């Protein structure tokens, strides 16, 4: 009698449904891109965050920049939200409104205080980012490299801390690209506002987006090509918009008209969403840096060598099959276990020895163990809404302790704000709305926005430094001494959990290499 192998229901749907999902979703969804722009003393700077790859990019400051440079930044980033200071020059505002019609509807004015260079550095310092890997030497010629070394950043953090301890000003810091670095603060504040508005309670953090890496870029390495130029040169078909996503039942035929463009000629050789997105970006941002062009040509020449033809073909065939890890694991285990059953259901007409011989090649016990290991270790039901890998309780004690601490934040924050109210004057306490925690920003106090007397009290309070972080939901979110103490005590809990998950995932991969 054959054993009755039962796989967990959480292993997913039939293979046909899984495969159909990729057929219908042939094009990658455009990601949200928050871009901040600023001009100071004739210098124009820019920073933007791409939610799709969780990458924060910072530009070199452009001296004596014309207003048209703002279009180059916007087209480079493919911004979906464009931030400028409420004190920005009328010329910049008018240029965006009149000359950049595709961006005027996503234009947003924010407080000039959010462009503070010192505040941006402090936010980055508390974000839990690996500085040594995120920033490289500024002497690199690459268009996308770190904008200052980790030693410089360490010294910047020391300078900020020492100046605060001495009560001195922090606006005298001498750093490279200060305008663009200030834009980082505006981007992070807007990201925090969006995340806070997307959840019903301040402490409900899923799904959460975090800054995974930071890169530098410089417009001088690229030849600017406006959308009109790309269209007239037939780089893209007039009906194709790189930022758009096809809708409706005919989405699979999207791009057929592209056969008459450069993108269309190359599109048919690409088989993944990531590849199509990368091709679009390469064509939209033509290079002018000769070293980078030569480097690309060397890579192309390497793959085009006759002796590398088969290897290149094998690599292409392998990469085109790389889809979703979760679905791949599920389908592999489910279908492998089903095959022996289906083999025994064949009408063999006296050739059962052939079926038994084929079925014996499948090690059901090993396959079942793999399925149970996946099911017991990875919590797909929790991972889907959070859009990250979730390890089941009991797998790692350190991770479990972090999660318990995180899960208890709601009651802790309620007690924290109540304790703080009791320490404040009664008239001021009534304006304190809540205490919140946000990844990479830490613990903050939310004060009613229209409480003018409260804001004057904070400005005149010399015993504590109240740093205004951002405004959302008619509340001003501040960082004061008490909140900084909580930051030091607990750290960035969410980012610690994400880092631990990455470490466990990396160790798991190394164990199976």
197/59 same-domain check: yes
Residue pair 287/222 in contact by the 8 Å Cβ criterion: yes
Q: What is the pLDDT of residues 370-409, one digit of tens each?
A: 666 665 555 554 544 444 455 666 777 888 888 888 878 8
Query: Residue 175 CB: number of other CB atoms within 10 A?
Result: 18
> CA-to-CA distance for 235 and 232, rounded, in angstroms?
8
List the beta bridge partners of residue 465: none
Q: Sign of dihedral through CA atoms 90, 219, 77, 230?
A: positive
Q: Is residue 372 part of a domain?
A: yes
Provide the pLDDT for residue 45.
93
> For residue 444, what are the domain limits?
388-513
- Find tokens 């699979």 and name the residue: 252
Provide the pLDDT for residue 419.
86
Name the band, by pLDDT with cuts 50, 70 and 90, for residue 304.
confident
Total domains in the fold of the chain: 3
> CA-to-CA distance for 283 and 299, rounded, in angstroms?
17
List the beta bridge partners of residue 436: 444
Q: Is residue 274 part of a domain?
A: no
Q: Is residue 13 part of a domain?
A: yes
Q: Is the pLDDT of residue 42 over 80?
A: yes
Q: Higher model confidence: residue 4 or residue 315?
A: 315
Q: Is 295 left (phi over 0), alpha (psi -120 to 50) or beta?
A: alpha
Provide the pLDDT for residue 38.
93
CATH number for 480: 1.10.1420.10
Q: Is residue 141 part of a domain?
A: yes
Q: Which of 165, 187, 221 is the last residue of a domain?
A: 221
Q: Is the pLDDT of residue 513 over 50?
A: no
Provide the pLDDT for residue 209.
62
CATH number for 176: 3.30.420.110
342/406 same-domain check: no
338/469 same-domain check: no
Q: Is the pLDDT of residue 44 over 90?
A: yes
What is the pLDDT averaged over residues 352-376? 66
In 160-298, beta strands by DSSP E: 213-217
CA dist 225 → 8, 76, 267, 287, 288 (Å):
53, 10, 20, 10, 11
Q: Is residue 189 part of a domain?
A: yes
Q: In degrees to the nearest 10, what's the CA dihedral of 9, 10, 11, 13?
A: 80
Name the band, by pLDDT with cuts 50, 70 and 90, for residue 283.
confident
Q: Is the pLDDT of residue 148 over 50?
A: no
Q: Is the pLDDT of residue 507 over 80?
A: no
Q: Which of 193, 221, 249 is the last residue of a domain?
A: 221
Q: Is the pLDDT of residue 334 over 80?
A: no
pTM: 0.52
Q: Higher model confidence: residue 204 or residue 66?
A: 66
Q: Which of 221, 240, 263 is the last residue of a domain?
A: 221
> CA-to-CA distance for 466 and 450, rounded, in angstroms?
17
Mean pLDDT of the chain: 71
183/328 same-domain check: no
129/210 same-domain check: yes
> CA-to-CA distance for 277 and 3, rounded, in angstroms?
47
Q: Is residue 314 part of a domain?
A: no
Provide the pLDDT for residue 318.
72
Q: Is the pLDDT of residue 279 over 90?
A: no
What is the pLDDT averaged over residues 105-130? 80
57/204 same-domain check: yes
340/450 same-domain check: no
Instruction: Calculate ∠ Cα 31-216-296, nearest 5°.
Output: 85
Name the band, by pLDDT with cuts 50, 70 and 90, for residue 345.
low
Indicate the range of 134-148, 290-304, 442-456, 490-504 predicted with least confidence.
134-148
Name the band, by pLDDT with cuts 50, 70 and 90, for residue 46.
very high
Name the band, by pLDDT with cuts 50, 70 and 90, for residue 350.
low
> CA-to-CA distance for 500 and 403, rounded, in angstroms?
11
> CA-to-CA distance for 488 and 511, rounded, in angstroms?
34
496/353 same-domain check: no
Q: Is residue 244 part of a domain?
A: no
Q: What is the pLDDT of residues 200-214, one digit of tens each?
A: 444 443 445 678 788
Q: Is residue 339 part of a domain?
A: yes
Q: Is the pLDDT of residue 35 over 90?
A: yes
Helix (H) or strand (E) holding 113: none
Q: Which residues contact 158 (CB under 8 A, 6 or more apart)?
A: none
- Which of 107, 100, 93, 128 lies closest to 35, judged by CA? 107
358/429 same-domain check: no
- Find tokens 């880092």 and name the residue: 499
Q: Higher model confidence: residue 182 or residue 120?
A: 182
CA dist 414 → 201, 453, 467, 489 (Å):
12, 24, 21, 17
Provide the pLDDT for residue 245.
37
What is the pLDDT averaged over residues 341-348? 60
CA dist 167 → 300, 338, 425, 456 (Å):
56, 71, 25, 20
The DSSP code for 93 is H
25/163 same-domain check: no
CA dist 227 → 234, 235, 243 (Å):
11, 10, 12
Peptide bond into 207 cis (omega under 30): yes
Residue pair 77/46 in contact by the 8 Å Cβ criterion: yes
22/41 same-domain check: no
437/362 same-domain check: no
> CA-to-CA distance for 198 and 243, rounded, in angstroms?
23
């Amino acid at each position: 009698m054959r054993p009755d192998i039962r796989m967990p229901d959480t292993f997913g749907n039939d293979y046909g449904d899984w495969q159909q999902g990729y057929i219908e979703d042939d094009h990658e969804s455009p990601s949200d891109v928050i871009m901040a722009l600023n001009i100071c003393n004739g210098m124009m700077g820019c920073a933007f965050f791409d939610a799709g790859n969780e990458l924060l990019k910072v530009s070199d400051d452009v001296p004596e920049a014309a207003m048209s440079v703002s279009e180059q930044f916007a087209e480079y980033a493919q911004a979906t939200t464009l931030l400028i200071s409420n004190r920005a020059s009328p010329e910049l505002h008018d240029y965006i409104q009149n000359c950049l019609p595709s961006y005027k509807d996503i234009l947003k004015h924010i407080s000039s205080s959010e462009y503070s260079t010192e505040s941006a550095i402090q936010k980055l310092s508390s974000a839990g980012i690996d500085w040594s890997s995120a920033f490289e030497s500024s002497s690199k010629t690459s268009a996308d490299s770190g904008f200052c070394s980790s030693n410089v950043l360490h010294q910047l953090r020391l300078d900020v801390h020492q100046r605060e301890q001495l009560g001195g000003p922090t606006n005298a810091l001498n750093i490279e690209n200060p305008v663009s670095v200030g834009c980082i603060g505006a981007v992070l504040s807007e990201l925090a506002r969006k995340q806070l508005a997307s959840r019903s309670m301040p402490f409900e953090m899923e799904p959460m987006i975090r800054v995974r890496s930071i890169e530098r870029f410089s417009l001088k390495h690229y030849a600017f090509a406006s959308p009109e130029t790309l269209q007239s040169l037939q780089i893209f078909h007039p009906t194709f918009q790189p930022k758009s996503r096809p809708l409706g039942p005919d989405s699979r035929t999207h791009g057929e008209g592209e056969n008459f463009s450069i993108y269309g000629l190359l599109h048919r050789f690409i088989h993944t969403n990531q590849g199509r997105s990368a091709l679009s970006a390469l064509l939209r941002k033509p290079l002018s840096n000769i070293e980078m062009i030569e480097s690309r040509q060397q890579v192309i020449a390497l793959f085009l060598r006759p002796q590398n033809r088969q290897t290149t073909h094998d690599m292409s065939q392998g990469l085109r099959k790389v889809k979703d890890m979760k679905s791949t694991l599920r389908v592999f285990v489910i279908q492998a276990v089903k095959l022996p059953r289906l083999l025994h259901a064949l009408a063999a007409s006296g050739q059962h020895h052939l079926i038994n011989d084929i079925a014996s090649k499948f090690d059901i016990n090993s396959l079942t163990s793999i399925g149970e290991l996946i099911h017991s270790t990875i919590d797909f039901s929790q991972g889907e809404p959070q859009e990250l890998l979730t390890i089941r309780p009991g797998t790692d004690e350190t991770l479990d302790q972090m999660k318990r601490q995180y899960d208890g934040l709601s009651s802790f924050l309620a007690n924290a704000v109540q304790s703080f109210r009791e320490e404040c004057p009664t008239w001021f306490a009534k304006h304190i709305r809540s205490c919140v925690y946000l990844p990479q920003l830490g613990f903050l106090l939310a004060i009613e926005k229209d409480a003018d007397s409260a804001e004057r009290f904070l400005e005149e309070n010399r015993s504590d430094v109240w740093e205004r972080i951002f405004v959302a939901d008619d509340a001003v979110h501040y960082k004061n001494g008490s909140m900084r103490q909580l930051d030091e005590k607990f750290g960035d809990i969410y980012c610690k959990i994400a880092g631990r998950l990455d470490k466990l995932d990396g160790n798991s991969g190394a164990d199976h290499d």
